[in-house]
Amino acid sequence: MRFEKDTIEILKKALIKMEDGFESLPGVDTDHDLEGTEQVIMEVAERMQDNFPYFHPLYAGQMLKPPHPLARVAYMLSMWINPNNHALDGGRASSRMEKEAVAQIAEIFSWKNSLGHLTSGGTMANMEALWISSKLSPGKKVLASDQAHYTHNRLCDVLGLHFESVPCDDEARMDVSALEEILERENVGTVVATIGTTGTGSVDPLPEMIELRKRYGFLLHADAAYGGYYILVDNLSPGTRGAFDRLHEVDSIVVDPHKHGLQPYGCGCILFKDPEVGRFYRHDSPYTYFTSSELHLGEISLECSRAGASAVALWATQRLLPMVPGGEFAKGLSKSRDAALWLYDKISSDGRFRTILSPELDIVVWAPNGASASEISLRSEELFKAAEKRNLYLAKFKYPSSLLRAKWKGVDFDQEYVTCLRSCLMKPEHFDWIERIWTILAESAV
Amino acid sequence: MRFEKDTIEILKKALIKMEDGFESLPGVDTDHDLEGTEQVIMEVAERMQDNFPYFHPLYAGQMLKPPHPLARVAYMLSMWINPNNHALDGGRASSRMEKEAVAQIAEIFSWKNSLGHLTSGGTMANMEALWISSKLSPGKKVLASDQAHYTHNRLCDVLGLHFESVPCDDEARMDVSALEEILERENVGTVVATIGTTGTGSVDPLPEMIELRKRYGFLLHADAAYGGYYILVDNLSPGTRGAFDRLHEVDSIVVDPHKHGLQPYGCGCILFKDPEVGRFYRHDSPYTYFTSSELHLGEISLECSRAGASAVALWATQRLLPMVPGGEFAKGLSKSRDAALWLYDKISSDGRFRTILSPELDIVVWAPNGASASEISLRSEELFKAAEKRNLYLAKFKYPSSLLRAKWKGVDFDQEYVTCLRSCLMKPEHFDWIERIWTILAESAV
């Protein structure tokens, strides 16, 4: 296979256009060591061959999605300026592009007057959400499901907040009666609803959680880092759709453009429904914030120096592929989900395999058959390797035995976790390749 | 002026080399909208003209330094793989390059057995340092000078730690007697030594702080985000050199490769002298950490998904420009400092201006003369604009009147802050352009 290289010509043209803006400046003599640079870069290229082929449809493993070529070229172009979106003094154009791009993301959740900004990733975005929650309801507990990302538990420890995890039902969604039991006995300030767990793509039952909020009063934070963009598609199951339809009712949303938004790492995004929370960020910097009375992004974010290039790449992508239902971007997500459903059907009707959940988004988790948890785990390891030999790249996933007992009758659960296989089918191309993926998988399982 | 574009040809060659590693994979048909991509990118290029020329020697303002062309091309190349340095499953080659690059940074501080990793920036790096400090000395106070970066005060609030700021002496360094006074009355767990304030480049008196540590017992964290690399140069003043010579005795160091390490945003780095602190990061992720028993960087960092491209760019830069005293990289820093000293001499011997401090690193802060704080501030604003009209880009800086009273005798301090001018002379090219910069400045001040 060959890499896409057409965008390099576009980059050259764009550099010429961009430098027109600086034509009044005198030329600068530089004597960069081009020979040395080439030598090192060729060494880098050789070392970088040692990677799974994340960009290829036959990589159907971990949660990795290649950036759109447009996002890549926009990011590259920006690096000639290397703007810093902390302040307008560090990046006027990219700060404005960030504000526009973030407003467009807020719009897919029907938020018109929210406060938000980009972050370098999901950890910082979720941390800001939990931090603001703790300011709004100090001293109270934070809850998230036991299938939520481990970052919530750890961030609460970092922030000095009390955390408790809520058991999940058999569909890996937060168990609402378990949630209510905790709400009864604890002083809960914030509940995290995971909109697409990173493990199985399960979506917490948001409508029921919103009902409980009416009775118990707490802040709802949606960790939609992975799943958020799925609000745009037309092929969700009614239950999952029901959760997305209520997403606009939460207090804060995290969505990672570097997960499903076609962006290179690191690009996260935090949105707050109530723009008034901006007051908690306030600080006084003596050396920035001078150029204008316009908002500097550093006034509403915890991070200081931050790549403006991420904002430029995101803005450009959303310009080419507007985030509207029925648009090309939404169709790409629908295809990923169709690919997941197709593969799930094949696997679950094949006696050699066991499945767990019908995919809510685009992740399929399954395992080869076996009499015990340990045997199934061993066979997962073997299948992982056999597939890799045939150029099909899967991921492994430790699934709690406790969530499998009711589903896998007759299996001897002789260990706490079962190693399963997991495919995040995040690339639109996965749909076109799914029969081939299945063929290789079926061959590997012999 | 024209942008450097020679590295684009190197990128093309490297892409061909890199794809050789994936030649066993079948080709993929794609139909990217090249025309639409070009249209959007040209629009981006036009919008990006609206920026200060950070890359040009006549930009002598805020703390912005362009990435080395090699760093840029390495970052670009990596984006075709888009590795995620959270786990080896997300980026084998780039994780190893990160470990090598971070070990090389630790070495400039003479640390052979430390624990460290890259972060997306200085905020996260300093937060990890303060968080680990709070684990090692729970419930105790954190101190930093009142010229330290505002992030320390705010991060302590975020982490739920008690913070107090220590007054500075007239050189904008932490006042050691004020520090001792606080150590006497408070239960202090951590003292932050700023090794190069972002305002004036002042270096806290580390030797005296280490003496106090013997008597009072506290953790020392060095925020060397901006100044750390200056340990490599041969032209520091004896006092400043004395601080750098003791840097290896602190407990943790933050240094930002995206400030003085020739890297694009966002690239920070945190180092801990005692690798045992890794235990505080421990967590259990069910879906990553599978490929090997080798260390996954996500096991020793707070951030989860994180750009492997930053590590690749850093590794490549350090490969071409090893961080050794007398090397090309160190010489570049020395030139920046020489440029700052040269400009400081010119300004301080010109009756139209007032200076404040002899630069410890490469930042010069000064102001036009005037009878009062308000008049000086007004004239700074005017000079800022007059210079910009002549293509010289300065920065403005609010300096506390309290630190100026002893220096600027006879000035009527009719307001709390004085707006001064500030030049971060971070580019090696600044040295070659410094006479021209001075000429424009002198003309603008007429």
pLDDT digits (tens, 9 = 90+) for B124-178: 999 999 999 999 999 999 999 999 999 999 999 999 999 999 999 989 999 999 9
List chain B residues with CB under 8 Å of A127: 158
* DSSP code at position A155: H
Please tell me the predicted confidence (pLDDT) of residue A93. 98
pLDDT at position A295 is 83
Say which amino acid occupies A110.
Answer: S
Please judge whether A303 and B25 are an interchain contact, meaning their C-beta atoms are less than 8 angstroms apart.
Answer: no
- The mean per-residue pLDDT over the stretch A425-429 comes to 97
The alpha-carbon gap from A280 to the nearest alpha carbon of chain B, in Å, equals 10
> Does residue A182 belong to the interface with chain B, where contact is any CB pair within 8 Å?
no
Q: Per the structure block, which two tokens stand in for B192? A: 């932050």
Instruction: Judge whether residue B284 has pLDDT over 80.
Output: no
How large is the average pLDDT for residues B365-371?
A: 97
Mean pLDDT score of chain B: 96
A contact residues 220-239, partner B, Cβ 8 Å cutoff: none
Are the beta carbons of A19 and B2 separated by less than 8 Å? yes
* Rounded distance between C-alpha atoms, residue A51 and residue A37, angstroms: 22
pLDDT at A111: 98
Helix or strand (DSSP H, E) at A388: helix A373-389
**Quick one: pLDDT at residue B294?**
78
Distance between CA atoms of residues A359 and A346, nearest Å: 13
Q: What is the pLDDT of residue A316?
A: 98
Q: Is B406 on the interface with A (CB under 8 A)?
A: no
Residue A40: half-sphere exposure toward Cβ, Cα within 13 Å: 25
Q: Least CB-CB distance to B51: which of A27, A81, A391?
A: A81
Distance from CA of residue B320 to its chain's centroid?
Answer: 20
Q: What is the pLDDT of residue A286?
A: 63
Instruction: State mean pLDDT over B55-72.
Output: 97
| Torsional class of A166: left (φ above 0), alpha (ψ -120 to 50), beta (otherwise) | beta
3-state secondary structure A361-386: CCEEEEEECCCEHHHHHHHHHHHHHH
> How confident is the model over B334-350, as pLDDT tens digits?
999 999 999 999 999 99
CA distance B77 to B82: 9
Residue A333: pLDDT above 70? yes
Give me the pLDDT at residue A270, please. Answer: 98
pLDDT grade, residue B287 (50/70/90)?
Answer: low
Burial label for A187, CB within 10 Å (0-12, 13-18, 19+), is: exposed
pLDDT exceeds cutoff 90 at A219: yes
Contact call for residues B164 and B143 (beta carbons, < 8 A): yes
Q: For the residues B90-95, what does the mean pLDDT come to?
A: 96
H-helix or E-strand containing A420?
Answer: strand A417-424
Residue A221 has pLDDT above 70, yes or no: yes
Nearest CA among B353, B339, B393 for reference residue B60: B393
Whether pLDDT at A284 is above 80: no
Instruction: Check residue A82 and give its pLDDT.
Output: 98
What is the C-alpha separation between B88 and B83, in angstroms, rounded? 9
Q: Cα distance from A211 to chain B (closest Cα, Å)? A: 30
* pLDDT above 60: residue B283: yes
Q: Which of B19, B51, B74 sits opposite A91 (nearest CB)?
A: B51
Q: How would you classify the pairing of strands B141-145 and B163-166? A: parallel
Question: Could you tell me the pLDDT band of residue B288, with boundaries at 50, 70 and 90?
Answer: low
Q: How confident is the model at residue B30 (pLDDT cuts 50, 70, 90)?
A: confident
Rounded average pLDDT over B244-255: 98
Residue B290: is its pLDDT beyond 60?
no
Mean pLDDT of A209-230: 98
Write down the pLDDT at residue A290: 56
Cα–Cα distance between A411 and B197 in angstroms, integer?
62
| Chain A with chain B: Cβ pairs closer than 8 A | 407
**Mean pLDDT score, B388-393:** 97
Confidence of residue B286 (pLDDT cuts 50, 70, 90): low
The reported pLDDT for the residue numbered A31 is 82
Hey, of B54, B80, B96, which one would you mutate to test binding to chain A, going by the most A CBs within 10 A of its CB?
B80
Half-sphere exposure of A43 (CA within 13 A, CB side): 16
pLDDT beyond 70 at A289: no
- pLDDT of A285 reads 66
Q: What is the mean pLDDT of chain A?
A: 96
Q: Do A81 and B36 touch (CB under 8 A)?
A: no
Give residue for tokens 């959270």: B86
Residue A292 pLDDT more than 70?
no
Contacts (Cβ under 8 Å, ≥6 apart) of A325: A232, A233, A234
Least confident range from B202-216, B293-307, B365-379, B420-434: namely: B293-307
Give A-chain residues touching B401 at CB under 8 angstroms: none
Please write the tens of the pLDDT for every residue from A223-261. Answer: 999 999 999 999 999 999 999 999 999 999 999 999 999
Q: Is the pLDDT of residue B291 over 60?
A: no
Cβ contact, residue pair B42, A17, below 8 Å:
yes
Interface of A with B in 268-307 (CB under 8 A): 283-288, 290, 302-307
Q: How far is CA B73 from the centre of its chain?
A: 21
The more confident residue out of A288 and A40 is A40
How close B266 comes to chain A (CA, Å)?
5
- Better-scored residue on pLDDT, B294 or A137: A137
Please tell me the predicted confidence (pLDDT) of residue A180: 98
Say yes or no to pLDDT of A277 above 90.
Answer: yes
The domain over range A88-320 is classified in CATH as 3.40.50.1980:
no
pLDDT in tens, A58-81: 999 999 999 999 999 999 999 999
Closest by alpha carbon to B253, among B98, B97, B108, B363? B108
CATH architecture of B88-283+291-320: 3-Layer(aba) Sandwich (3.40)
The confidence band for A29, taking pLDDT boundaries of 50, 70 and 90, is confident
Averaged pLDDT for residues B198-225? 98
Read off the pLDDT of each residue in A363-380 and give the average, rounded to a whole number: 97
A328-444 adopts what CATH topology? Answer: Aspartate Aminotransferase, domain 1 (3.90.1150)
Q: Does the pLDDT at position A291 exceed 60? A: no
- Please write the tens of the pLDDT for every residue from B309-327: 999 999 999 999 999 999 9
Share of chain A above pLDDT 70, in %: 98
CB contact under 8 A, A304 and B121: yes
CATH 3.40.640.10: which residues of chain B?
A: 88-283+291-320
Instruction: Tell whether A315 is within 8 A of chain B (Cβ).
Output: yes
**pLDDT category, B285, cuts 50, 70, 90?**
low
Domain with CATH 3.90.1150.10 in chain B: 328-444
ipTM tops the 0.95 cut: yes
